[in-house]
Structure 1
Amino acid sequence: MSQYFENNIFNAEDFSHDSSSSAEFVGCQFIGIDFSEFNFSKLKFLDCTFSECNLSNVSLKSGVFRGVSFKKSKLIGLNWTETTTLASCTYSDCIMDYGVFQSMNLKGFSFTDCKMMEVEFGDCQLVKASLRGCVLRGSSFNKTNLSEADLRGSTEYFIDVRYTNIKKAKFSMPEALGLLSSLDIVLE
């Protein structure tokens, strides 16, 4: 049985949902909830906000996330490719290690001040995306379109410019010097 919620505010004390049923949440806020053992399969979130929540290792299979904001939340080990829809989402001050976005269209997405170690962005469309102030150690950008993306203030990334489109992308020094490491050149 499908449930519908609009403009509700949920916190750890009052959130309960039977994870075997489908539900649609529109304009809802989720504050301080540990969803780590929760199944997000077949749930729809439209224009919702997750603040200080733990969604680590949840199943996103057939889930819908449109216009969703994640703030100061743990999103560790999520396979975003399993969602039916992932559109116009923003992530601010989140821990997103070991996530998978491979081959997704993330045009215009915003990742700000996030810790994103070992995240798979291979073959993604990150055109005009913001990855400002992120820690990107071990994240993969192979064959990714980063044209006009903003990586200012981000650290610990490796981007092979031979296989990644970085046309008009914005970087900060001294981290931008790392872009030369894939060119097999000698700097003195």
Structure 2
Amino acid sequence: MNKIKIQSPKIPSYLESANFDDMEDRYISACTISDCTIFEEEINRMRFDQVVFKNVTFMDVTFTNIELTDVIFEKCDLSNTDFSGGAIHRVEFIESKLVGLNLTEATFGNVVFDNCYANLSSFGYASLKNVKFERCSLRNGDFFECKFNKIDFTDCDLVEANFTNTSLDGIDLSSCKIDQLSLSPGDLKGCVVSSEQAIAFARLLGIVIKE
């Protein structure tokens, strides 16, 4: 199966360093924000364009309907941050902690999650197109009623993740841990799994396998 191609964030070769606390505008562009904590912010429709976050901790942050375009999060902690309803395009999350990150009803295009710890993250009702999850822990992740188009899960931990009412047609889960998934039987049509995983899915569907 052909791997999907993801457009990388379009980041200038040089970016000015910036301090989030010094900014009053809801539109932030062309800068690097690093080695800091963004604390107790609640802003609707915050926009970031061509921004690199490095070693940034988001604490009690609610950025509903956020717009992220050409953005990189590297070694950041976004645990329990609220990005629900966001528009997220050409974005990379690299070696970041995303436990409980709220991405419900968000729209994703050309997004990479690389080596992230994202247990209990929420993607419910989101639309994902050209998105890669690589070497991520997504235990108890919620993908309820998502729309998938060209999605790649590689070497991910999806134990007890919820894919109910989400079609997995064309999705290759063969390299992932998929024990105790929650899903609807019809959503498995076209899903690519290993032979061992197929046996587990058969049991999940109530099929008795004769040894």
User: TM class, shorter-chain normalised?
Assistant: 0.7 to 0.9
Contact 1:161–1:179 (CA under 8 A) maintained in structure 2? no
Task: Name the structure where strand makes up a greater proportion of residues.
Answer: 2
Partner of 1:5: 28
SS at match of 1:108: strand
Q: Indicate whether 1:175 and 2:197 are aligned.
A: yes
SS at match of 1:179: helix
Q: Which amino acid aligns with 1:32?
A: N
For structure 2, the 5+ residue unaligned runs are: 1-23
How many residues are paired up?
A: 185
CA distance in 1, matches of 2:183, 2:57: 37
SS at match of 2:148: coil
SS at match of 1:134: coil
CA distance in 1, matches of 2:40, 2:118: 26
Contact 1:2–1:24 (CA under 8 A) maintained in structure 2? no
Q: 1:119: how far off?
A: 1.3
- Give the one of 166, 179, 183 matched to 1:144: 166
Q: 1:16: how far off?
A: 6.2
Q: Indicate whether 1:36 and 2:36 are aligned.
A: no
CA distance in 1, matches of 2:144, 2:39: 34
* Percentage of identical aligned residues: 23
CA distance in 1, matches of 2:105, 2:149: 21
CA distance in 2, matches of 1:63, 1:103: 12
Q: Deviations over 1:110-149 (max 9, x none)?
A: 1111101111222222243111111111111222211111
CA distance in 2, matches of 1:20, 1:106: 25
TM-score scaled by structure 1? 0.83
CA distance in 2, matches of 1:171, 1:111: 16
For structure 1, the 5+ residue unaligned runs are: none
